[in-house]
Amino acid sequence: MLRGFALREAAALIAAITRVAAEAPFRHMITPGGFRMSVAMTNCGEAGWVTDRKGYRYQPTDPESGKPWPPIPAAFLGLAAAAAASSGFAGFRPDACLVNRYEPGTRLTLHQDRNERDFAQPIVSVSLGLPATFLFGGLERRDRPQRVPLVHGDVVVWGGPSRLNFHGVAELAEGEHPATGRLRYNLTLRKAL
Ligand code: MD3
Ligand code: FE
């Protein structure tokens, strides 16, 4: 947990999110069970995480446009490599970045991230804008999650034994943030391929 690690670059990261979303707009994807996700998502990188009635997967193109996802902004790559290195994962080179957008009322149910090829690779997450309560569970869905507050500028490196832990985000509370207004963004930088 690297509290405030992204604070210096936060404005540049938010500007880069806006540019990514101009190419690949935020959308509410559909789960394989037919539910619309309350989190709005987009991606950048060689591969992007998608869900639809057919399942969860990474794919090289945006299903909405058929075009490749936009490249990962240099500011994301530098931050992810620095955060990973400072947590014992030197040489982290992500090829996928899922961008999540939350509004008050949005939540993310407990899940595992297991569509990536190599679970020895960490995931670096960056929180921007409104605060959230992260739910950090165990290796089984029934394990009672710890509640961890995440605020603007916090970076977390998820690797080693915690890589397959169940996790989620509690319903976002109403609020206003100077950098994002009524929104929270979360970047997750991944080596998917
Ligand atoms: C723990 N996003 O995109 S980031 C996700 O705040 C996701 O939007 C949340 O879960 C968010 O998949 C939480 C923190 C996170 C990301 C990946 C993990 C925690 C993790 C993978 C393994 C264990
Ligand atoms: Fe996740």
- Expressed in angstroms and rounded, the spacing between residue 167 Cα and the centre of ligand 1 is 6
pLDDT on residue 68:
98
- Expressed in angstroms and rounded, the spacing between residue 187 Cα and the centre of ligand 2 is 11
pTM beyond cutoff 0.85: yes
Run means of pLDDT, 10 residues per run, the chain, 193 residues: 98 98 98 98 98 98 98 98 98 98 98 97 98 97 97 97 96 98 98 98
Contact (Cβ atoms closer than 8 angstroms) between residue 191 and residue 119: no
Nearest CA to ligand 1 atom 14: 125
- The secondary structure of the chain in percent helix, strand, coil, rounded to multiples of 5, reads 15, 35, 50
Alpha carbons 62 and 64: distance in angstroms, whole number? 5
Q: Which residues line ligand 1 (CB under 6 A)?
A: 98, 100, 108, 113, 123, 125, 134, 156, 158, 162-163, 165, 167, 169, 186, 188
Contact (Cβ atoms closer than 8 angstroms) between residue 52 and residue 33: no
- Expressed in angstroms and rounded, the spacing between residue 85 Cα and the centre of ligand 1 is 19
Name all domains of the chain by residue range, CATH numbers in brackets.
10-190 (2.60.120.590)
